[in-house]
Amino acid sequence: MIQIRNVDFQIHGNPILHDISTSIPKGQLTALIGPNGAGKSTLLKLIARLEKLQSGSVRIDGLDLSATPTEKLALVMAVLSQHTHVSSRLRLCELVGFGRWPHHHGRPSAHDRAEITRALELFDLTALADRFLDEVSGGQAQRAFLAMTFAQATDWLLLDEPLNNLDMAHARALMRHLAGLVRDQGKSITVVVHEINYAAAWADHVIAMKDGRILAEGPPADVLTEPLLSRLYDVPVAVGTHQGRPLILHHV
């Protein structure tokens, strides 16, 4: 479980997060939703120790974030940031290979190589393994970064807008795949998503944020309701059901 206690955050004096206290359940797919500028990415970065905590505390499976060495945290959680623009000319297999670095620090074993092969297979990249990053499409590059995160083989995966650049089919395949990892391998995955229906269809737990505060949290059926979503995004939405899960109609 990730426990967040009294976290405030400011950038150049502008408050981004106000006294956030919540917890993210272990062994579930958690979706962070909310309008642009709500503080979702900032909260994810603080949990992932990509930004330094200014106040409050974060504990991940009992490990205090500010007291645990970063190498140790890399074996507990893997992070995918937004805007992963890379100027290095790397082959996809080399990029995915860096996901194993926290385990071997420069001396990969046969097990590490097997994990790289497996990650490439899982993300449908085997045929592209020897291509350079600047020779594949944005969606393929995004999948390569996901495969790198996955190859890190951590209990926790924190993904900031993993659906960026993915077409409908690959976005759905990714969410299905993440849900499968949670169900079959007991992984705990937290994603920031903008397309709310992916949260509705696949998430076990939803945290809705607005203006640096948590507006609501809980199972999708409790959070993704007409009044709450209309308040969250300041637009009227209609919520139906599809296969027993909420279906949000926000585009008309």
Partner 1 sequence: MIRPLPVMLAILLSLFVTSLTIGAAQVSLRAAGSDAWAALVLMESRLPRTLAVVLTGAALAVAGTVMQQIVRNKFVGPDTTGTSESAGLGLLLMTILAPDSPVWVRMLVASLTALAGSAAFILLIRRLPAREVMLVPVAGIILSGVIGAVVTFIAWRYDLVQYVGTWLAAGGSSGIIAGRYETLWVAGAAAIAAWFAADRFAILGLGDNVAKGLGLDPAPVMRLGLMVVSVVSALVVVTVGMIPFVGLVVPNIVSRIMGDDLRRSIPVVATAGAALVSACDIIGRLVIYPYEVPVGLIMGIVGSVIFLILLYRPTRPST
Structure tokens belonging to residue 216: 């609501």
Distance CA 146, CA 119 (A): 9
Work out which of 87, 110, 251, 252 binds partner 1, going by CB under 8 A: 87
- Is residue 75 within the footprint of partner 1 (CB under 8 A)? yes
Residues 88-107 that bind partner 1 (CB under 8 A): 88-91, 94-95, 98-99, 101-102, 105-106
Q: How far is it, in rounded angstroms, from Cα 24 to Cα 58?
A: 11
Contact call for residue 49 and partner 1 (CB under 8 A): yes
* Identity of the residue, 135 or 222, whose beta carbon is nearer to partner 1 in the bound complex: 135
Query: Can residue 84 be called a binding residue for partner 1 (CB under 8 A)?
Result: yes
Binding residue for partner 1, selected from 47, 60, 78, 193, defined by CB under 8 A: 78
First to last CA, the chain: 38
Note whether 155 binds partner 1 by CB under 8 A: no
190 φ/ψ angles, rounded to the nearest 5 degrees:
-120, 125
**Three-state SS string across 35-65, please?**
CCCCCHHHHHHHHCCCCCCCCCEEEECCEEC
Give Cα separations from 35 to 40, 108, 193, 223 (angstroms). 9, 42, 10, 15
- Residue from the set 64, 130, 167, 222 that interacts with partner 1 by CB under 8 A: 130
Task: Give the residue with the Cβ less far from partner 1, 76 or 221.
Answer: 76
Binding site for partner 1 (CB under 8 A): 45, 48-50, 69-75, 78-81, 84-91, 94-95, 98-99, 101-102, 105-106, 130-132, 134-135, 149, 152
